[in-house]
Amino acid sequence: MLVCGALAVSAQTKVTLNTDLAKTQISKHIYGHFAEHLGKCIYGGMYVGEGNTKIPNTAGVRNDVIQALRDLKVPNLRWPGGCFADAYQWKDGIGPKANRPKMVNIWWGGVTEDNSFGTHDFLDMCERIGAEPYLAGNVGSGTVKDLADWVTYVNHPAGSPMSELRKKNGREMPWNVKLWGVGNEAWGCGGNMTAEYYSNIYRQYATFMSDHKDAKLYKIASGASDGQYDWTETLMKNIPHHMMQGVALHHYSVLSWGDKGPSVSFSEAQYFKTMDEAWKMDEFIKGHSTIMDKYDPAKKVALIVDEWGGWYNVEEGTNPGFLYQQNTMRDAMIAGLTLNIFNNHADRVKGANLAQIVNVLQAVILTNEEKMLLTPTYHVMKMYNVHQDAKLIPIDIEAPSYEFNGKKLTAVSVSASKDAQNAVNISLTNIDYSKAHEVTINLRGEDFSKVSGQILASSKISDHNTFDQPNKVSIKDFSGAKLEKGVLKLTLPAYSVVVLKVIK
Ligand code: AHR
């Protein structure tokens, strides 16, 4: 180990990029997001109401949020839950707002849901953001007919009772929603079902979710949590694969389901445990993929990680049911590492949704009345969006460890892709709490001539953006990568994310 001033530099990370073998597409849907009727995600965070004169909005949706999400290139947005999805009655969220029935949000704080943000509001908002909607259907407490009607309402062009109702409510053309979840966490808040029972229910609900003219449905089964491999195995065995385009997986980086620890003033022990949980995403994807390979060697059914992210105790003084937490450089590490894992499993992982988009869990945006800020996680997702729909470059990597109390984690993670212009984008995340790491990237003789880059780094791991200091953590240009004879060399500071672009 070299020590230069306060900066300890550890053993080398050696990466080889097999650019000539780039073949598998990294689906842009790996970069998806999730918006639930939970705390201030929808109400206050995204939707402030049509009559709001204080916060500039379009049809009630904050203009600042729309712009930030357009800039982020959000490929898809999952809604309305989460646990809320299996309690949601979509027909209560259409038609004149004054007439919409109210309900109690039993999962999140017991607050009254007035249904003022419903199907039209969500799907129109997705159009403004440029994101594909991903609707999570109610299987836990709704009927087969309710879900079949929802599909027809949003997708059938004309001439059916549901399409006529949609038109009466102001929308002539269907939205052609392709992405559908058939329930959520069916083993838990979605109905406490067994895998066998859910498989049968899935077959029944999915049968009546029909394709319409321009919308061939992509149906996603409610999947396992973490290493619940028997769930995946039962679904893969019992559900005909032509009825199921994806199986979900949820994994949160949480210290424990009791005390989840603080979002900002965490110790190194808590940081290490969070990183350990983040790395487990790789183990879970491998485990579930192995089972899927057994039943589906051609990889026709995708693994969709439609909930992931860091989960901590709520901020002091906030409603415990609202899951509001700050977002620091630790969250940037979870994001950089997890997105590298997803990219490197692009053959099976075809979609993922960070939980959640605004004001809830590992949010990319926080709001406070008319103020808005972008979190470190937002910046990582923005830096990484160069990988969307690009070709994955297989890599070989030898990386040093980040050690704490005798335990070890791989410190540096890397993924790379080739875009439509043949530029190579390489994302690197160093989760080490205190050491910088030198990295050598061998481009295997390819004659690249120019490298440019961006970095997200900050002086403290707990650094975050506040409404008074919204740009404390922000993306900077990075000129520290040197390209010589087909080899790139750089030093990654402790807890930093770097994305490099190499061109010929
Ligand atoms: O994202 C918060 C909750 O976590 C979701 O509603 C649920 O699906 C999961 O348990």
Ligand 1 pocket, residue 182 CB under 6 Å: no
Q: What angle do CA 207, 126, 220 make, to 5 degrees?
A: 30
Q: What is the reported pLDDT for 7?
A: 52
**Nearest atom of ligand 1 to the alpha carbon of 85:** 6
What six digits make up the tokens of 278? Answer: 């983040």
Residue with CA nearest ligand 1 atom 3: 82
* Residue 36 appears among annotated catalytic residues: no
d(CA 476, CA 479): 10
Question: Quick one: pLDDT at residue 2?
Answer: 39
Check 132, 185, 369, 484 and give the catalytic one: 185
The domain limits of the chain are: 9-21+394-503, 28-389
- Verify whether ligand 1 is closer than 6 Å to residue 81 (CB atom): yes
The number of the ligand 1 atom at minimal distance from the alpha carbon of 84 is 6
Query: Residue 342 C-alpha to ligand 1 middle, in angstroms?
Result: 20
Can you say whether the dihedral through the CA atoms of 467, 255, 433, 413 is positive or negative?
negative
Residue nearest to atom 5 of ligand 1 (CA): 82
The CA distances from residue 385 to 29, 339, 416, 490, in Å, are 11, 10, 12, 22
CA distance 153 to 209: 11
Distance 104 CA to ligand 1 centre (A): 17
Pocket-testing residue among 222, 307, 361, ligand 1, by greatest number of atoms within 8 A of Cβ: 307
Give the helix/strand (H/E) hosting 374.
Answer: strand 371-374
- What is the pLDDT, as a whole number, of residue 3? 40
Tell me which residue has its CA closest to atom 2 in ligand 1: 82
Pocket lining: 184 vs ligand 1, CB cutoff 6 Å: yes
pLDDT in tens, the chain (504 residues): 334 333 556 668 999 999 999 999 999 999 999 999 999 999 999 999 999 999 999 999 999 999 999 999 999 999 999 999 999 999 999 999 999 999 999 999 999 999 999 999 999 999 999 999 999 999 999 999 999 999 999 999 999 999 999 999 999 999 999 999 999 999 999 999 999 999 999 999 999 999 998 899 999 999 999 999 999 999 999 999 999 999 999 999 999 999 999 999 999 999 999 999 999 999 999 999 999 999 999 999 999 999 999 999 999 999 999 999 999 999 999 999 999 999 999 999 999 999 999 999 999 999 999 999 999 999 999 999 999 999 999 999 999 999 999 999 999 999 999 999 999 999 999 999 999 999 999 998 778 889 999 999 999 999 999 999 999 999 999 999 999 988 999 999 999 999 999 998
Which pTM does this prediction carry? 0.96
**Residue whose CB lies within 8 A of the most ligand 1 atoms, among 34, 83, 251, for a mutation test:** 83
Rounded CA-CA distance 411/437 in Å is 8
The rounded Å distance from CA 196 to ligand 1 centre is 22
Atom of ligand 1 nearest to the CA of 323: 2
Cβ neighbours of residue 323 closer than 8 Å, sequence gap 6 or more: 38, 39, 108, 311, 314, 356, 360, 361
Kindly give the number of the ligand 1 atom that is closest to the alpha carbon of 307.
1
Q: Is 124 in the pocket of ligand 1 (CB under 6 A)?
A: no
- The CATH architecture assigned to 9-21+394-503 reads Sandwich (2.60)
pLDDT of residue 384: 98
Give the integer Cα–Cα distance in Å for 133 and 176.
Answer: 9
Per-residue confidence (pLDDT) for residue 449, from 0 to 100: 87
Determine the Cα–Cα distance for residues 383 and 73; give it in Å rounded to an integer.
11
Closest ligand 1 atom to residue 361 Cα is 1
Q: Is 444 helix (H, G, I), strand (E, B) or coil?
A: coil
451 bridge partner residues: 502
CATH of domain 28-389: 3.20.20.80
What's phi and psi for 149, nearest 5 deg?
-65, -35
Side-chain half-sphere of 169: how many Cα atoms within 13 Å? 23
307 part of the active site: yes
Contact predicate 356/36, CB 8 Å: yes
Single out the residue of 140, 111, 101 nearest to residue 43, CA to CA.
Answer: 111
Q: Could you tell me if the CB of 86 is within 6 A of ligand 1?
A: no
Nearest to 301 by CA among 385, 355, 223, 391: 223
